[in-house]
Amino acid sequence: MSKNTGTQDLHPDRNLAMELVRATEAAAIRAYPFIGKGDKNAADGAAVDAMRAFLTTVNFAGVIVIGEGEKDSAPMLFNGEEVGNGHGPACDIAVDPIDGTSLTGAGRQNAVSVIAVADRGTMLDASSVFYMDKLVAGPEGVGVLDIRRPIGDNIRALAKAKGKIVSDMSIAVLDRPRHAQLIDEIRASGAGTRMMLDGDVAGGINAARYDSRIDMCVGIGGSPEGIVTACAIKALGGFIEGILAPLDEAERQRGIDAGLKMDHVYDANGLVSSDNTFFVATGVTDGGLVDGVRRMGPVIRTDSIILRGHSGTIRRVRADYRADRWM
């Protein structure tokens, strides 16, 4: 951390992560009553309100570069919103109070509350183009994978780098009609698919973890999720590439007008140029990355993960809250 006390010269340090996790814990706890109740927007609204309230207390000058909610008119922490108490490091913020609102509403696995942070001015603002084609893997993919190559070639190259046979490879992909051909090509290569109903942030991070059963995460998902995932990949030393996927010519032009590069491969540094990144996630429902919120008598338990790019550190945080203070 810089010795200069001017706000613009300070960089996020390790203490910030423990403040941020309180915001994701709060969002997950507030979403808990809505799990399986069929109202994803109510869950998202509760999570947004809780996250915003806690972010106002954090000792930093944050600006939300990547907010969530614009795609489906859900409640949102909006792009350009200033968060924090205005003191301390100047940061870019990417938030997703619930990555997997549909999962939460349906009571399915892998919904998480997420915040990612980097030095001010270092996150790509891809908000004008909502979707991105992504390829994510662990450190073995660096210098081996290329999103422009056929998926079968990438699977075989990664299998070789990992010392695995192709038939043992597991590829995560969102279960969407747009991925029908991609899924066929993955299976034609001999690899197996792991279909995700939602929540490709967790899918990407699981693909980069050394102890995961997922080898690669591919396909078109949200561009905000791509930026968030890149912050985590910085800590994991993994591989990520993304190409913006505008829905139509109008959106493509909006992206160009905003300074984005169409048909361009963004790597981890292109998505987030700083290595001083944080990724914080708390489970809403159970999943492969973190456990979901649990009510155990008088206690509410949360499970979180904190990844820091600067040090390459992974921390697990389990917290017990008195339920009578929350419910």
Annotated binding residue 275: no
The crossing angle, in degrees rounded to 10, of helices 180-188 and 151-162 is 50
Contact 7, 90 (CB under 8 A): yes
Lookup: tokens for 265: 């491969």
Cα–Cα nearest to 239, from 179, 123, 161: 161
Annotated binding residue 178: yes
87, burial (CB in 10 Å: exposed 0-12, middle 13-18, buried 19+): exposed
Rounded to whole angstroms, how far apart are CA atoms 83 and 193?
A: 39
Rounded to whole angstroms, how far apart are CA atoms 173 and 179?
A: 8
Rounded to whole angstroms, how far apart are CA atoms 303 and 284?
A: 9
Three-state DSSP class for 224?
helix
Cα–Cα nearest to 282, from 113, 116, 115, 117: 113
Contact 325, 57 (CB under 8 A): no
Annotated binding residue 225: yes
Annotated binding residue 96: yes
Annotated binding residue 7: no
Dihedral sign, CA of 106, 49, 291, 322?
negative
Annotated binding residue 176: yes
275, burial (CB in 10 Å: exposed 0-12, middle 13-18, buried 19+): middle
Place of tokens 């423990």: 18
Annotated binding residue 198: yes
Annotated binding residue 222: yes
Annotated binding residue 297: no
Annotated binding residue 44: yes
State residue 239 phi and psi, 5-degree precision.
-120, 135
Annotated binding residue 200: yes
CB neighbour burial string for 89-116, b if at least 16 within 10 angstroms, e if fewer: bbbbbbbbbbbbbbbbbbebbbbbbbbb
Annotated binding residue 199: yes
Annotated binding residue 163: no
The annotation places the binding site at 44, 68, 96, 99-101, 131, 176-178, 198-200, 222, 225
The annotation places the binding site for Mn(2+) at 44, 68, 96, 99, 225
The annotation places the binding site for substrate at 99-101, 131, 176-178, 198-200, 222
